[in-house]
Amino acid sequence: MNERLIFLDRGVGEVRGVVTLDGRPERLILQRDDDDPRLALGAGLIARVATIEAAIGAAFLDLGGGLEAILPFKPDARPVRGAAVEVEIRSEPRRGKLGIARLVGQAEGPPRLLREPPQMADILREIAPDAQLTEGREARQMADEAELEVLETIHSLPGGGNISIEPTRALTAIDVDLGERKGQDSKRVTRQANLAALAEAARLLRLKGLGGLVVVDLVGRGHEGAALVAAARIAFGPDNPGVAIGPVGRFGTMEISIPRRTSPVLERLQRAEGGLTDRALAQRVIRRLESEAAAQPGSRLTARCAPAVAGAAEPLARKLAERIGARFLIKADPTVPREVIDVAAA
């Protein structure tokens, strides 16, 4: 079918955009009030060339306010240290890595923002131009569902079996497992599982915002390499331009390179050591309070959560009060487990 729908959830302190593919989340895009627009995909800036690393063909840019980005260059187009240049962000920063900029031309003046990045509604309409934008309660529910799927590691495949998706610093590893997928013809069963896995992997990598080198450990032996590569080209087509797909190797793996454009939403929701970030949990506290306030008009609400989460929720609480009034309390309780949120009416 390949039907795409778009949803926009305007929350307190953040906006979440969701694109679905045949009813399942395909992309979750997150914009928060305290995000710096100078680091967002599509932002146009004046930057200063701070240092040049000729050995790797890259210059480090000063974007102002302590922000940096990398500007790749060819040997015949080496920038001048200290020069002002106009650039556009083409790859957002990720954990431990700077963003990447594209040179637009020479410029004058101090580092500054020239052009704001696209707004959420515009991003969604560019992905699915013919889809009607849905907001409100349905969008909130779809964004919550997408967020839960982003955080999962093991995902079920249509028809049985599953795939696990585990990002590392070097690459993202995907393992295909038949599970209880049944059939008398084992070769046909494994072929169908691998084809389903490639389609699901493409959707889920877009949903999690993961790119770079991806290694898929296919199930079974004696793979029909040409058919699998053709299926991968179709599955990862929406990620073009820039996708590169390698043949099935002797050990039954397929390597795929996907351009990195946005910061992985998985990194924004989850800590490097595992578990949700304080900010992600704080957003859940605020959404719970907002939902309970709508369900219980006039009631006074109390949210109990871990102290670090309560601290992250404090600036958001002031914005929530502008929506529902100051009829709630966020209580820091050290006895509450970190990822537990308890909301009750007084």
Q: Where are the domains of the chain?
A: 4-36+120-139, 42-115, 152-266, 276-345
Task: Quote the CATH superfamily of domain 276-345.
Answer: Ribonuclease E, catalytic domain (3.40.1260.20)
pLDDT at residue 76 greater than cutoff 60: yes
> Could you give the CA distance from residue 44 to residue 104 in angstroms, rounded to a whole number?
9
Q: What CA–CA distance (Å, rounded) separates 131 from 194?
A: 30
Question: Which among 243, 8, 265 is positioned nearest to 128, based on CA atoms?
Answer: 8
Strands 162-167 and 244-245: unpaired
CATH class of 152-266: alpha beta
- What is the average per-residue pLDDT within 320-330? 94
Confirm whether 42-115 and 276-345 share one CATH topology: no
Mean pLDDT computed over 260-270: 95
Q: What is the per-residue pLDDT for 1?
A: 67
Nearest C-alpha neighbor of 37 from the set 108, 96, 88, 102: 88
Provide CB contacts within 8 A for 98, sequence distance 6+: 60, 68, 69, 70
What pLDDT is recorded for position 187? 84
Question: Residues 242-260: pLDDT tens digits?
Answer: 999 999 999 999 999 999 9
What's the whole-number average pLDDT of the chain? 94
Segment 137-187, tens digit of pLDDT: 999 999 999 999 999 999 999 888 999 999 998 999 999 998 776 665 778
Alpha-carbon gap, residue 30 to 207, rounded angstroms = 11
Q: What is the mean pLDDT of residues 277-303?
A: 95
Nearest to 253 by CA among 287, 226, 218, 277: 218
Each residue's pLDDT tens digit, 10-56: 999 999 999 999 999 999 999 999 999 999 999 999 999 999 999 89
Q: Can you count the helices (H) and strands (E) in the chain? A: 7, 19
Q: pLDDT tens across 196-227, in order?
A: 999 999 999 999 999 999 999 999 887 888 99
**For the domain with range 42-115, which CATH number is right: 2.40.50.140, 2.40.160.210, 3.40.50.2300, 2.60.40.10?**
2.40.50.140
| Per-residue pLDDT at 184 | 57
Q: Span 283-308, mean pLDDT?
A: 95
- pLDDT given for residue 182 in this prediction: 66
